[in-house]
Structure 1
Amino acid sequence: MTVEFADPNVLVEVAPATCQVSTRKDADVLGRIGHLETRLARTNAEIDAAQAVRYRVFVEEMSAQIAPDAMRRKRDIDAWDMVCDHLLVLDTTIEGDAEEQIVGTYRLLRQDVAKGSGGFYSQSEFDLEPLLARQAEKRFMELGRSCVLPQYRTKRTVELLWQGAWAYALKHRVDAMFGCGSFGGVVPEEHALALSFLHQNLLARDEWGVRAHADRHRTMDLMPSEAVNARKALAAMPPLIKGYLRLGAMIGDGAVVDHAFRTTDVLIVLPIGKISGRYINYYGADAGRFAS
């Protein structure tokens, strides 16, 4: 489950930012643009605050159904929260502690951690084992629970989420990233144009091929190719998925309906080696573009 952002151009030209010199206090900051900064959560209190932000977006805004105890606590929580790293975007102009400054979050799970902690979140929807077996020498990382408060769904915020994920991937020598991308609603046919375009043009194949579990697999090939207009299909694409595609991502075979979050999910597969040189240059081969 991911949240899509309002701006369809989230990964294209953004005005250059003025980088600031880090101090010992903020040496772990991964990026900064203006008064927004990105870093990993440092404390359990910050993770709790990130879960509260997720609750506001997923439950209050999108009407997701979560466990009764989580509803009472007003937190979006699951078992993976205990083992994932939590990437945060903070608005440093908000008065108070860091917990009150969190306006966006991304959840990061490395393969070496997932192996000892029950696997990846996406494995409940997609059969990842054949992919991981074929690419046994590569290090994978899962991206999930992408979430930004409505008033912060701007290019700057999304730039920082990507900056943080890219810096994290480089630090841990990640070879490929993947995660669920979401279309709103539980009727795949409502997204026939976009899903058909993805299936017909961007399907992950051969060594990168991956499929939805058979019992959850919903076909994406809903329209004949001659009826699929590429421009219209891209215009109908959720912005976050479109952003992944710009980077060079591929799509797994089959969509999955997530009734709890009221979304139709596809699997995004993004080998680091296939990321467009344009974006590596933009963020920096060393993730230094927006580094603090």
Structure 2
Amino acid sequence: MSLTLPSFSLPSLTRGKYRACFAQDRGDLAAAQALRGRCFGLSDPDADMFDELCLHVMIRDLRTNTLVCCYRLLLLEGGGDLGRSYSAQFYELDALAGFQGRMVELGRFCIHPDWHDPDILRVAWGAMTRLVDEQGVQMLFGCSSFAGTETDTYLDAFAMLKARHLAPPRWLPRVKAPEIFRFAARLRRKPDARKAMLTMPPLLRTYLLMGGWVSDHAVVDRQMNTLHVFTGLEIGAIPPARKKLLRAVAG
């Protein structure tokens, strides 16, 4: 059985050893779910009901055809559609309901644990840039995850988020999940920048470099064995130099 494919084009993006394209069939989706399960430390492939609603981007190593990265995308027409998103299960997003403009939720971003090439992340963002430009997307958002549920390992990272990267008050997500870590209210430490960046997840680090912001609390997700923060990025706020770099990769 084939997947429901998008009504718009996203030609495959090849850069160096890697190619990004949409999943084309159930076999592709199963490969992505298997990689996600491995990255999340699950005994089975990772799958949920949102897989049927999303587009799935796959990045393969052309030398071996190995799937080295995957993520899924949910395209929304505006803030009024946020109730359909994965993030809405964990965050009260009423403040964003009035956002005017197309939005994309980026989720389940995974890189194969045996691959450490920074070009993989560049190709992933290059593919995302093509979609954002073609579809006129004005905001990216999602849940950025830290591995494990113990907060002590990430106190400098959370202190950095509090000091520099909290959401603007007009967009700030509110508490919805039953178990959270209120880092913005609880932490009083000055962050060690080096420790903060070493423990910051790569995807979140990239969001922040582009001007992204986060919720004032982290959700403790014991089912996925992660801590995550709601992350938003307004496309119009990305620094011009960063946009230029992204579009250079997107070609």
- TM-score, normalised to structure 2, is 0.86
Q: CA deviation at 1:196?
A: 1.9
- State the partner residue of 2:57: 87
- State the partner residue of 1:191: 154
Q: CA deviation at 1:114?
A: 10
Do the aligned partners of residues 149 and 77 (structure 1) sit closer, same or farther apart at CA in structure 2, a change above 3 Å counting? Answer: same
- State the partner residue of 1:242: 205
What CA distance in whole angstroms lies between the structure 2 residues aligned with 1:204 and 1:169? 21
Question: 2:28 matched to 1:46?
Answer: yes
AA in 2 matched with 1:197: M
State percent identity of aligned pairs.
29
What CA distance in whole angstroms lies between the structure 2 residues aligned with 1:235 and 1:35? 26
How do 1:1-292 residues align onto structure 2 when only pairs under 5 Å count? Answer: 28-58=10-40, 62=41, 64=42, 74-94=44-64, 101-112=66-77, 119-133=84-98, 135=99, 137-213=100-176, 215-221=178-184, 222-225=186-189, 227-284=190-247, 289-291=249-251
Name the SS for the 1:107 alignment partner. strand
Where structure 2 has 5 or more consecutive residues not aligned to the other structure, the ranges are: 1-8
What CA distance in whole angstroms lies between the structure 1 residues aligned with 2:79 and 2:236? 22
Name the SS for the 1:175 alignment partner. strand
Q: Aligned Cα RMSD in Å?
A: 2.4
Q: How many residues end up aligned between the 2 structures?
A: 242
Q: CA deviation at 1:30?
A: 3.8
AA in 1 matched with 2:102: R
* Structure ranking higher in strand proportion: 2
Q: After alignment, is 212-221 or 40-49 more displaced?
A: 212-221
Indicate the structure (1 or 2) with the bigger Cα radius of gyration. 1
Larger RCO (CA within 8 A; separation ≥ 6): 1
What CA distance in whole angstroms lies between the structure 2 residues aligned with 1:117 and 1:245? 22
Name the SS for the 2:180 alignment partner. coil
- The question of whether the paired residues in 2 share the 8 Å contact of 1:247 and 1:279 is answered with yes
Where structure 1 has 5 or more consecutive residues not aligned to the other structure, the ranges are: 1-26, 65-70, 95-99
What CA distance in whole angstroms lies between the structure 2 residues aligned with 1:155 and 1:34? 12
AA in 1 matched with 2:249: R
Name the SS for the 1:42 alignment partner. coil
What CA distance in whole angstroms lies between the structure 2 residues aligned with 1:75 and 1:214? 24
Q: CA deviation at 1:274?
A: 1.0
Q: CA deviation at 1:231?
A: 4.1
Q: CA deviation at 1:49?
A: 1.6
- The question of whether the paired residues in 1 share the 8 Å contact of 2:214 and 2:232 is answered with yes
Name the SS for the 1:146 alignment partner. strand
AA in 2 matched with 1:81: D
Q: Deviations over 1:222-263 (max 9, x none)?
A: 4325x3334443343233221211111111121100101211
